[in-house]
Amino acid sequence: MTKINSFNAKKGQIEVICGPMFSGKTEELLRRLNQLKYYDAHYLLFTPKIDTRSPKYARSRNGRKLSSITISNSMEIIKYIKKIKKKVDVIAIDEAQFFDNNLSLICNRLANENYLVIVSGLDMDFNGKPFPAMKELLITAEKVFKLKAICSVCGAKASFTERTNINSKKQIVIGDKKIYSARCRHCHSLSKSRIFQK
């Protein structure tokens, strides 16, 4: 296949794909990485070790998957890049909400070093609170793509994630459809709490 040389990663920047669960964030990330094969561009894809749902792969619910480098903390991204010898243009990170607070610093450093950094992750937890690793990224990113899911109650576009069938108040509980569903603002339990009311 003839490669197109117009891929321009010389001006590094950060792009964030965010939204609730079931909004297609990983699908969108993998779609973008797959398109790189038409260019003379190479990527590294990182996923967090804590996410045990799909070890060594970033996998979308539509069945698309790409092998990934599984890491325990965001500093390992820098260590990995220093170690490898091949040319890399794009650093991709999936399930970024599970990373530590240094993720934004790391991503900004990489963008300053002219990498295109594409990050996919949940913006809000089940309580409508930002995930710490995503908070600063969303502020410093050049581009933010906020995806929507479909509300499991009314069918409207959904930006929130509801946690059901579990009592834990912990921000991070790994799970899928058994304990999470996408909800619109009006169908989310928070709409009945003081947080969203005057």
Q: Of the ranges 6-14, 18-26, 48-56, 148-156, which one interacts with Zn ion (CB under 5 A)?
A: 148-156
- Binding-site member from 75, 81, 150, 153 for Zn ion (CB under 5 A): 153
Query: Does 187 help bind Zn ion (rule: CB under 5 A)?
Result: yes
Q: Residue 99 or residue 180: which is nearer to Zn ion going by CB? A: 180
User: Judged by CB under 5 A, how many residues of this single chain contact Zn ion?
Assistant: 6
Contact 159, 181 (CB under 8 A): no
Active site residue 95: yes
| Residue 167, number of CB atoms within 10 A of its CB | 5
Query: Does 156 help bind Zn ion (rule: CB under 5 A)?
Result: yes
| Residue 16, number of CB atoms within 10 A of its CB | 25
Backbone angles phi, psi at 161, to 5 degrees: -120, 130
How far apart CA 32 and CA 28 sit, in angstroms, is 6
Cα radius of gyration rounded to whole Å, the chain: 17
Write down the catalytic residue from 15, 27, 95, 162: 95
Q: Residue 105 or residue 153: which is nearer to Zn ion going by CB? A: 153
Query: What residues line the site for Zn ion (CB under 5 A)?
Result: 151, 153-154, 156, 184, 187
